[in-house]
Amino acid sequence: MHIAVFADIEGSFGIWRMRQCRMGTAEWQYGRHCLTEDVNHVVRGAFDAGAARVTVYDTHEVGFNCLINKLDPRAGYVGGHFVSPTFYGDISDVDLALYVAIHAASGTENAFFPHTHYGVFSEMRLNGRPVCEMDIYGAYLGEFGIPVGFVSGEKIAVDQALRVLPWTQSVIVDKREETYTAGEKSRNYLREGRRQLRDRAAQAVREIKNVRPLITPGPLHFEAEFRTVELADRFNTWNFTQTDRTIAWHAKNMIDGFDKLNMLTFYPRNIYSLRRPLSFFNRCFYRIKNTCFSPHPNSEGAWMP
pLDDT in tens, 231-262: 999 999 999 999 999 999 999 999 999 999 99
| Structural element, H or E, at residue 149 | strand 148-153
Say if residue 28's pLDDT is above 80.
yes
Task: Write down the pLDDT at residue 235.
Answer: 97
Say if residue 270's pLDDT is above 80.
yes
Phi and psi for 125 in degrees, rounded to 5?
A: -125, 145
Average pLDDT over residues 299-303: 94
235: left (phi over 0), alpha (psi -120 to 50) or beta: alpha
| Structural element, H or E, at residue 39 | helix 26-48
Query: Which of 96, 7, 8 has its CA nearest to residue 52?
Result: 96
Say if residue 304's pLDDT is above 90.
no
Task: Write down the pLDDT at residue 67.
Answer: 97
Distance, in Å, from the CA atom of 160 to the CA atom of 105, rounded to the nearest integer, reads: 8
Average pLDDT over residues 26-38: 98
User: What structural domains and CATH numbers belong to the chain?
Assistant: 2-117+132-215+271-292 (3.40.50.10780)
Average pLDDT over residues 288-302: 94
**Residue 148 in contact with residue 99, Cβ under 8 Å?**
yes
Residue 155: which residues within 8 A CB-CB, separation 6 or more? 172
What average pLDDT does the chain have? 97
Say if residue 305's pLDDT is above 90.
no
Which pLDDT tens digit goes with each residue over 108-128?
Answer: 999 999 999 999 999 999 999
Say if residue 43's pLDDT is above 90.
yes
Residue 226: which residues within 8 A CB-CB, separation 6 or more? 120, 121, 122, 232, 235, 245, 246, 247
Which pLDDT tens digit goes with each residue over 60-74?
Answer: 999 999 999 999 999
- What SS3 class is residue 102? strand
Say if residue 96's pLDDT is above 90.
yes
Which pLDDT tens digit goes with each residue over 194-225?
Answer: 999 999 999 999 999 999 999 999 999 999 99
Residue 224: which residues within 8 A CB-CB, separation 6 or more? 121, 124, 125, 246, 247, 248, 261, 264
Say if residue 291's pLDDT is above 80.
yes
